[in-house]
Structure formats: structure tokens, C-alpha cells
């Protein structure tokens, strides 16, 4: 397309419109987070005066601060759940992609059923069970449901990736004198790593994003994650709305994920679409 033509101009306008709509809410939160709480209601898109106070307030008081504990909880819970989910999913996906055994189809359909399962239906029983087992308001109490609901996604992505791996290379390496372990480590692991990494990113985002389990199965900062903590934020006094603090906290959990998503966008797109359209 030539520069300067009408089509080119229309195209450019369309692209800019898409970008503005996509970025705008983030920009608005950023703007609010930089405003002095007293001027929060001025409706200005760009703050009249910039302040970082809202960010500072979040961490005042160390572990008793509004955000530090939830932030640590979010990171640890998501990381642990992701690690376990990827290991368990990799075992299952390897078996499904490579081995012949009855029940393979049942595992895949079961995973699909769970991908559609309404989480709200498990909240009551889990709430009751976790209280009886002492898992209520603990890391484990959140990690277990995250694991369950992220496994289908991880299994589908990994099965799709593992099916593409030329497994014969493993044997070829062994024929060339590599031990089975060497063949696995030097040939299969490098081939499988991108798929595992892709699955790990998506599972991490899923855990990071969860709200329903986080507010239902926790009751204190001992295990409350950031999305849940945001919903229970209170202002400095009864009479101030915590808008600016929430905006600042929201920014802190958003920026890393956005950077992450932008760096690994190709993988994320491949992962999101791998399970869905094949076949």
C-alpha cells in the first residue's frame, strides 16, 4: 500500500483507534495513581500535579502495609501453582502425545470438561472442606484449586506442542552413541522447553488473575492475593475513598504482566490458539 493514499490513511486511523481503546483504561489508572488524592475527582486525563505518594502509602509499615504481603502472596502462590501444574501437565501430555493406552481420550475430554467447569460451583464445598482440613486462608488452599483449573489449559497446550516434536531424534541420538539420559537432556528438553514455557506463562497469568477463589478461601493478609486485597482496600480514614491507593496498587500488578505479555507475545498467541483450532 502506498503512503498518502486514502486507504493508507484509513488503515492508520483504524490502527490508532485499536491501540487507544486497548491502552486507555491502563492509562486512566496510571493517571489516577499519580494524582494527589485531593484532586482525584478533577476528571483530568493528565494529573495537574504528579505525586508518588500513593505508591509509597502502599508499602508503609513493611509487612503490615496494605500491599506488601498480598504482593508476596500473589507471586509465591502463582509461581508454586504454575510449577506444579506444568510438571503434572507435562507428564500427562507426554503420555497422551507419545504412548498408546486406553483412557487417553477420557483424560482429554475430562480436561476439556474442567476447562468449562463453573468455579463458583466448587466454592461452597471447598470453603467447608478447607475449614475442616485447616487449609482455609493458607497458600495450599489456593494453590490446589489453581492447579486444578489451570491443568486443562496446560495439558492442551503441551499435547499440541509435544505432538510436533520429532521424537525420532531421540533414537537417532542414541544410535549415534548418546546415553538415553543424554538423548533426553540434549535433544528432547531443548525441543520441549518452548512449549513448557508457553504453558507456564499462560498458567501464571491465570493464577495471577484469579479473584473468586482468592476472596472466598482467604480471610486475612496471611494468604490474600492482590486482586482480593484490592477489593478490601480501605481509605486512610473512614471518610476518604481509597481510589488513588487502589489505582497505584492496580498499576503495580499490571505493569509487570504487561511487560511480560509484550515480551512473550508470540508464545502467548501460539499457546492461546494451539488447543482451540487444531484438527
Partner 1 sequence: MSDAPATEAAGPSAPKVTDRAKAERRLGWMLCAPAVIAMLLVTAYPIGYAIVLSLQDVDLRFPDEGGFVGLDNYGAVLSSDLWWQGLFNTAFITVVSVVIELVLGMILALVMHRAIFGRGVVRTAVLIPYGIVTVVAAFAWFYAFDPASGFVDGLPFVADDKAWFGDRWSAMSVIIMAEVWKTTPFMALLLLAGLTTIDEGVYEAAKVDGANAVQRFFRITLPLMKPAILVALLFRTLDAFRVFDSIFVMTGGGQDTESVSILGYNQLISRLNLGLGSAVSVLIFILVLLIAFAFVRGFGATVPQGRQEA
What letter does residue 187 receive in the DSSP assignment? I
Interacting residues with partner 1 between 190 and 209 (CB under 8 A): 205, 208-209
Task: Report the residue from 62, 121, 175, 181 that binds partner 1 according to the rule CB under 8 A.
Answer: 121
- Which CB atom, from 56 or from 109, has the smaller least distance to partner 1? 109
Packing angle, helices 68-98 and 189-209, rounded to 10: 140
- Site residues for partner 1, 67-106, by CB under 8 A, read 88-89, 91-92, 94-96, 99-106
CA distance 202 to 86: 11
Distance CA 206, CA 154 (A): 11
How many residues bind to partner 1 according to rule CB under 8 A?
Answer: 101
Among 76, 114, 165, 191, binds partner 1 (CB under 8 A): 114
> Does residue 209 contact residue 146 with C-beta atoms inside 8 Å?
no
Determine which residue in the list 57, 67, 111, 248 makes contact with partner 1, applying CB under 8 A: 111
* Choice from 67, 78, 147, 203 touching partner 1 (CB under 8 A): 147
Q: Which of residues 6-65 bind partner 1 (CB under 8 A)?
A: 11-12, 14-15, 18-19, 21-23, 25-26, 28-29, 32, 40-41, 43-45
Asked if 54 and 33 count as a contact pair (C-beta separation under 8 A), the reply is yes
56: left (phi over 0), alpha (psi -120 to 50) or beta: alpha
Sequence-distant (6+) residues with CB within 8 A of 63 are 69
Question: Where in 260-279 is the site for partner 1 (CB under 8 A)?
Answer: 260-262, 265, 268-269, 272-273, 275-279
Residue number with CB closer to partner 1 (69 or 156): 156
Amino acid at each position: 500500500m502506498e503512503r498518502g493514499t486514502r486507504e493508507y490513511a484509513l488503515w492508520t486511523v483504524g490502527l490508532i483507534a485499536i491501540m487507544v481503546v486497548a491502552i486507555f483504561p491502563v492509562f486512566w489508572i496510571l493517571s489516577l495513581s499519580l494524582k494527589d488524592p485531593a484532586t482525584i475527582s478533577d476528571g483530568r486525563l493528565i494529573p495537574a500535579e504528579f505525586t508518588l505518594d500513593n505508591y509509597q502509602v502502599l508499602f508503609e509499615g513493611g509487612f503490615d502495609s496494605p500491599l506488601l504481603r498480598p504482593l508476596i502472596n500473589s507471586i509465591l502462590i502463582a509461581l508454586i501453582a504454575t510449577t506444579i501444574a506444568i510438571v503434572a501437565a507435562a507428564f500427562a501430555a507426554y503420555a497422551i502425545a507419545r504412548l498408546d493406552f486406553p483412557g487417553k481420550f477420557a483424560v482429554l475430554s475430562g480436561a476439556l470438561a474442567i476447562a468449562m467447569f463453573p468455579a463458583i460451583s466448587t466454592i461452597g464445598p471447598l470453603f467447608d472442606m478447607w475449614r475442616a482440613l485447616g487449609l482455609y486462608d493458607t497458600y495450599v488452599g489456593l494453590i490446589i484449586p489453581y492447579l486444578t483449573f489451570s491443568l486443562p489449559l496446560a495439558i492442551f497446550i503441551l499435547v499440541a506442542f509435544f505432538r510436533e516434536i520429532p521424537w525420532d531424534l531421540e533414537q537417532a541420538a542414541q544410535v549415534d552413541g548418546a546415553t538415553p539420559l543424554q538423548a533426553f537432556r540434549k535433544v528432547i528438553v531443548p525441543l520441549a522447553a518452548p512449549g513448557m514455557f508457553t504453558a507456564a506463562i499462560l498458567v501464571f497469568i491465570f493464577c495471577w488473575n484469579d479473584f473468586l477463589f482468592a476472596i472466598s478461601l482467604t480471610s486475612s493478609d496471611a494468604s490474600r492475593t492482590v486482586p482480593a486485597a484490592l477489593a478490601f482496600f480501605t481509605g486512610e480514614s473512614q471518610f476518604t475513598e481509597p481510589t488513588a491507593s487502589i489505582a497505584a496498587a492496580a498499576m503495580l500488578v499490571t505493569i509487570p504482566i504487561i511487560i511480560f505479555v509484550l515480551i512473550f507475545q508470540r508464545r502467548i498467541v501460539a499457546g492461546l490458539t494451539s488447543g482451540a483450532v487444531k484438527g
